[in-house]
Amino acid sequence: MEFTGLLSAIVFLPIAGAIVIALVLRNYNQARIFAVAIAVIDFVLAIIAFAAYNTSAGGIQLVDRFSNWIPGLGDDGFAVQYLLGIDGLSAPLVLLTGLLGLVAVLASWHIQLRVREYFIWLLALQTGVMGVFTSLDFLLFFLFWELELIPMFFLIAIWGSDPKSKREYSAMKFLIFTILGSAFMLVGILVLFFSTGTFDMTKLPDAIRGANLLLPAGVVFALLFIGFAIKLPLWPLHTWLPDAHTDAPTAGSVILAGVLLKMGAYGMFRVSISMFPEVAQDVAWLLVAAGVINVIYGAIVVMRQTDLKRLIAFSSISHMGFIMIGLASVVGVNGAVSPLGLTGAAMQMFTHGTITGLLFLLVGMVYDKAHTRYIPDLGGLAKRMPFLAVALLVAGLASLGLPGTSGFVAELLIFLGAFKVWAIPTAIAAFGVVLAAGYILWTIQRVMFGPIKERFSDITDVSGIQYVPIALLLIAIIAVGIFPSFISDVFSSGVEPIAQSLEQVAQARLR
């Protein structure tokens, strides 16, 4: 048994807070204040865990383990463990989840409908996502993966946009797509367990290489990859995302874009390329092709959107394509795999989370005050909402990759790493940045500048507690843009072992 307790506290504090709200608190204001307090504490603990991670030592740290969590399975009698830990890949994502969890709670301060139930689901969602990023037992990983479905379904179905029938449709579509992906995942996980006798994700890469798998490795890879691709999402498995984003409440969109999509990318890192390096290298051309399609398709479809939330949703699809292009760096030149593209893909998970989280937060605030997200009906809002306009401009420029913002750092690393192997696809994907500049600047100009509509003459800027979540995300975007190494160095320490494993496979094939 190993138990530091920090990660367990980070994972289960939100659900414990949800239980307290459900069983103890009866006053709506008390529920709000208590939820903020839980989110603040969880964010502070996430900062402590991130700061405590030693990049020089590397590997799995801050381990919480109970070896006999579910006894009697596997050759050793305790194959199912309670096993939490972080490495350089997951530590920044824990920090991101803590930050966006706090932002989501603060963004929900003015919720009036079924307030206690709302914060119960929001905090339960936080536990599910934190559990995915810290679990190192595959069965435990899957349980947390499934846990987040229920809160997000109810957040969309109950507190989403009107009309009721539309938000319920979007919630059900989200549920069906993700459960379908989870079914494929579960088959793959069980095949690995029955083939290797363990769910331990730290042992599975070596165990798979020495095992006789019940199904070919390529099939198992595909089963798991489909689940991750739906969550990311990849074209053509993406159609649930625009509907879910459009009809989710503001906090739901922040969490959905900021961290739920990153669960898919994280799974590809942790499972697909780490456990199946040979298969990953064989299908690298598919990864880069999928990435290019996502980038260009998402950017083109964005230009046809008239709803602000739907526009940002399709831009997320485009930006997730950059992660796939970075992942395609699993192959290298003459057997030498550069970790640069993989580090860039990991950085994109973090930077996209903060940037798109801020965009959805600001759009939600515009809707709360203007009561519309229809772009042709908006205009001139900067005159009445100067702070929000500046924040939206910063977020937009970061989204298109302006130097000095976090978006530039991630995309630069991806392009530098992938271009050595995939020159033409990377060049095509780089054109997506040009398209992003077009639709981002066009949107900001139409929404914030020009003559103000008469109906918005009395509209007011953000106020009070609304400044706090905006400021938190602006600081994150600018800080990473100016001094990226405090995040990129941690990601590099997590990516390096993966790159070394891939390089060994590539060099062995050249012999």
Q: For residues 100 and 43, what is the distance between their CA atoms, to the nearest angstrom?
A: 9
Q: For residues 95 and 107, what is the distance between their CA atoms, to the nearest angstrom?
A: 18
Q: What is the pLDDT of residue 333?
A: 67
Per-residue pLDDT of 173-194, as tens digits, reads 989 999 999 999 999 999 999 9
Q: What is the pLDDT of residue 334?
A: 65
Q: Please, which residues have CB within 8 angstroms of residue 167's CB and are 6 or more apart in sequence?
A: 156, 157, 160, 161, 247
Q: For residues 94 and 196, what is the distance between their CA atoms, to the nearest angstrom?
A: 29
Instruction: Check: pTM over 0.75? Answer yes or no.
Output: yes
Average pLDDT over residues 37-45: 97
- How does residue 343 score in pLDDT terms, banded at 50, 70 and 90? very high
Q: For residues 101 and 173, what is the distance between their CA atoms, to the nearest angstrom?
A: 24
Q: What is the pLDDT of residue 1?
A: 65
Average pLDDT over residues 136-161: 92
Q: For residues 197 and 205, what is the distance between their CA atoms, to the nearest angstrom?
A: 13
Q: For residues 257 and 335, what is the distance between their CA atoms, to the nearest angstrom?
A: 35
Q: Please state, rounded to an integer, the average pLDDT across all residues of the chain.
A: 89
Per-residue pLDDT of 415-458, as tens digits, reads 998 888 888 999 998 888 888 888 888 999 888 887 887 787 78
Q: What is the pLDDT of residue 35?
A: 95
- How does residue 500 score in pLDDT terms, banded at 50, 70 and 90? confident
Q: What is the pLDDT of residue 50?
A: 96
Per-residue pLDDT of 68-109, as tens digits, reads 766 655 455 456 788 999 999 999 999 999 999 999 999 998
Q: What is the pLDDT of residue 95?
A: 97
Q: What is the pLDDT of residue 449?
A: 87
Give yes or no for residue 485 having a pLDDT over 60. Answer: yes
Q: What is the pLDDT of residue 435?
A: 87
Highest mean pLDDT among 38-42, 204-208, 239-243, 384-388: 38-42
Average pLDDT over residues 399-426: 89
**SS3 (DSSP) at 306:** coil
Neighbours of 458 (CB within 10 A): 8
Lowest pLDDT segment from 9-23, 303-317, 471-485? 303-317
Per-residue pLDDT of 11-40, as tens digits, reads 999 999 999 999 988 888 899 999 999 999
Distances in Å between the Cα of 303 and the Cα atoms of 315, 373, 430 are 9, 15, 17
Neighbours of 61 (CB within 10 A): 18
Cα within 13 Å of Cα(78), Cβ side: 9
Which tokens go with 65?
């383990």
How many helices (H) and strands (E) the chain has is answered by 22, 3
- The C-alpha torsion from 181 through 186 and 189 to 191, rounded to 10°, is -110
Closest CA to 192 of 181, 179, 180, 201: 201
Per-residue pLDDT of 237-296, as tens digits, reads 888 888 888 888 999 999 988 898 899 999 999 999 999 989 998 898 999 999 999 999
In the chain, the percentage of residues whose pLDDT exceeds 90 is 52
